[in-house]
Structure 1
Amino acid sequence: MANIVAEDNSISLERVEGQGLVANKLSWNKLMHRSNPFDIESRCHNGHASKDKDWRVILHLALQSIGIAYGDIGTSPLYVYASTFTRGINHEDDILGVLSLILYTLTLIPLINYIFIILRANDNGDGGTLALYSLICKYAKVGLTPSEQEDDMEVSNFQRDDLPNERLKRASRIKYKLEKSQFAKYFLLFATMLGTSMVIGDGVLTPCISVLSAVGGIKQSTSTMTEDMIVWISVGILVCLFMVQRFGTDKVGYTFAPITCLWFALIGGIGVYNYISFDPTVIKAINPKYIVDYFRRNKAEAWISLGGVVLTITGSEALFADAGHFTVRSIQISMCTVTYPALIMAYIGQASFLRKHTNLVSDTFYKSIPDRLYWPVFVVAIAASIIASQAMISGTFSIIQQSVSLGCFPRVKITHTSTKYRGQVYVPEANYLLMLACIGVTLGFKTTAKIGNAYGIAVVFVMTLTSSFLVLIMLMIWKTHLLLVISYVASIGTLELIYLSSVLYKFDQGGYLPLAFALALMSIMFVWNDVHRRKYHYELKHKISTEGVKDIVNDPMLFRIPGLAIFHSELVQGSCFTPMFKHYMLNVRALHSVLVFVSINSLPISDVEEERFLFSRVEPKEANIFHCVVRFGYTDYAQEYEQEAPFERVLVTKLKEFVKQEFLPTNMIVHQYEEQLEDNEEFRQGLVIENEIDQQDHEDQRNLVEDQQKQHEGTLEREIEAIDRAWNAGIVHLIGDNQVIASKDSAIGKKLLINYAYDFLRKNSRQCDNNVFDIIPHKRMLKIGMTYEL
Structure 2
Amino acid sequence: MEMPFNDEDNNHETTLVMQNKQSDGVPASTGGSGDHHDPFDIESRSLPTSHFSNKGPALRVVLQLAFQSMGIVYGDIGTSPLYVFSSTFTNGVRHRDDILGVLSLIFYTLTLIPLFKYVFIVLRANDNGDGGTFALYSLICRYAKVGLLPNQQAEDAQVSNYQLELPSSEMKRASCLKSKLENSHFAKFFLLFATMLGTSMVIGDGILTPCISVLSAVGGIKDATPAMTDDRVVWISIVILVGLFMVQRFGTDKVGYSFAPIICLWFTLIGGIGVFNFIKYDPTVLKAINPMYIIDYFTRNKKEAWISLGGVVLAITGTEAMFADVGHFTVRSIQISMCSLTYPALILAYTGQASFLRKNSNFVSETFYKSIPGPMYWPMFVIAVLASIIASQAMISGTFSIIQQSLSLGCFPRVKIVHTSAKYEGQVYIPEINFILMVACVAVTAGFKTTTKIGNAYGIAVVFVMVLTSAFLVLIMIMIWKTHILLVIGFVLIVGSVELLYLSSVLYKFDQGGYLPLAFAAILMIVMYVWNEVYRRKYFYELNHKMSMEKLKEIATDSDICRIPGLAMFYSELVQGIPPIFQHYVENVPAIHSVLVFVTIKSLPISRVAMEDRFLFCRVEPKEQNVFRCVARYGYNDVRNEQEPFERVLVERLKAFMAREFWMSQKMIPSNETEGCVEEVEETEQMGGEEHREMQEGIEAEIETIEGATREGVVHLIGENEVIARKGAGMWDRVLIDYAYNFLKRNVRQSGEVFDIPHKRMVKVGMKYEL
TM-score normalised by L of structure 1: 0.89
Equivalent of 1:51 in 53, 56, 63? 56
Equivalent of 2:132 in 128, 133, 142? 128
2:520 counterpart letter in structure 1: F
Relative to structure 1, is the Cα distance of residues 267 and 776 closer, same or farther in structure 2, using a 3 angstrom cutoff? same
Aligned to 2:284: 281
Equivalent of 1:215 in 214, 218, 235? 218
Equivalent of 1:323 in 303, 323, 326? 326
Return the offset for 1:674. Answer: 9.3
Return the offset for 1:774. Answer: 2.2
Structure 1 CA distance for aligned equivalents of residues 136 and 696 of structure 2 = 49
Aligned to 1:627: 629
Aligned to 1:510: 513
Structure 1 CA distance for aligned equivalents of residues 94 and 167 of structure 2 = 57
Alignment of 1:20-419 (within 5 A): 41-43=47-49, 45-47=50-52, 51-52=56-57, 54-161=58-165, 164-165=168-169, 167-419=170-422
Relative to structure 1, is the Cα distance of residues 672 and 319 closer, same or farther in structure 2, using a 3 angstrom cutoff? closer
- Say whether 1:650 aligns with 2:653: no
1:523-582 residue CA offsets vs partner (Å, 9 max, x unmatched) = 010011000000001111111122321111111212111111110011123x2x111110
2:358 counterpart letter in structure 1: R
8 Å Cα contact 1:202-1:459 kept in structure 2:
yes
Aligned to 2:698: 715
Aligned to 1:746: 729
Which structure 1 residue ranges, 5 or more long, are not aligned?
A: 1-6, 11-28, 680-700
Does the residue aligned with 1:251 lie in a helix, a strand or coil? helix
Structure 2 CA distance for aligned equivalents of residues 662 and 305 of structure 1 = 69
Structure 2 CA distance for aligned equivalents of residues 417 and 164 of structure 1 = 40
Return the offset for 1:664. Answer: 3.4
Return the offset for 1:678. Answer: 11
Does the residue aligned with 2:628 lie in a helix, a strand or coil? strand
Larger displacement relative to structure 2 (406-415 or 597-606): 406-415
1:100 counterpart letter in structure 2: S
1:581-602 residue CA offsets vs partner (Å, 9 max, x unmatched) = 1001111111111111111111
Return the offset for 1:239. Answer: 1.4
Does the residue aligned with 1:594 lie in a helix, a strand or coil? strand
Return the offset for 1:161. Answer: 4.5
Equivalent of 1:781 in 762, 768, 771? 762
Return the offset for 1:40. Answer: 7.0
Relative to structure 1, is the Cα distance of residues 286 and 8 closer, same or farther in structure 2, using a 3 angstrom cutoff? closer
Relative to structure 1, is the Cα distance of residues 359 and 762 closer, same or farther in structure 2, using a 3 angstrom cutoff? same
| Percent identity of equivalent pairs | 66
Aligned to 1:639: 641
1:388-444 residue CA offsets vs partner (Å, 9 max, x unmatched) = 112211221222222222111111233333333342322222222211211111112
2:569 counterpart letter in structure 1: I
1:141 counterpart letter in structure 2: K
- Say whether 1:755 aligns with 2:756: no
Return the offset for 1:648. Answer: 1.1
Structure 1 CA distance for aligned equivalents of residues 549 and 118 of structure 2 = 50
Aligned to 2:580: 579
Aligned to 1:690: none
Does the residue aligned with 1:782 lie in a helix, a strand or coil? strand
Total equivalences in the alignment: 732
Aligned to 1:441: 444
Structure 1 CA distance for aligned equivalents of residues 574 and 610 of structure 2 = 21
Deviating above 4 A after TM superposition, structure 1's stretches of 4 or more consecutive aligned residues are 7-10, 33-40, 160-163, 668-679
Larger Rg computed on CA atoms: 1
8 Å Cα contact 1:48-1:157 kept in structure 2:
no
Relative to structure 1, is the Cα distance of residues 30 and 58 closer, same or farther in structure 2, using a 3 angstrom cutoff? closer
8 Å Cα contact 2:44-2:618 kept in structure 1:
no
Structure 1 CA distance for aligned equivalents of residues 381 and 684 of structure 2 = 84
Structure 2 CA distance for aligned equivalents of residues 170 and 455 of structure 1 = 38
Relative to structure 1, is the Cα distance of residues 41 and 714 closer, same or farther in structure 2, using a 3 angstrom cutoff? closer
Larger displacement relative to structure 2 (382-391 or 779-788): 382-391
Structure 1 CA distance for aligned equivalents of residues 761 and 153 of structure 2 = 29
Does the residue aligned with 1:157 lie in a helix, a strand or coil? coil
TM-score normalised by L of structure 2: 0.91
Aligned to 1:14: none
Structure 1 CA distance for aligned equivalents of residues 598 and 478 of structure 2 = 41
Relative to structure 1, is the Cα distance of residues 702 and 142 closer, same or farther in structure 2, using a 3 angstrom cutoff? closer
Relative to structure 1, is the Cα distance of residues 582 and 48 closer, same or farther in structure 2, using a 3 angstrom cutoff? farther
8 Å Cα contact 1:69-1:319 kept in structure 2:
yes
Indicate the RMSD between aligned Cα atoms, in angstroms: 2.4
Larger displacement relative to structure 2 (460-469 or 388-397): 388-397
1:65-119 residue CA offsets vs partner (Å, 9 max, x unmatched) = 2222111111100100010011111111110010000000000110001111111
Relative to structure 1, is the Cα distance of residues 188 and 48 closer, same or farther in structure 2, using a 3 angstrom cutoff? farther
- Say whether 1:495 aligns with 2:494: no
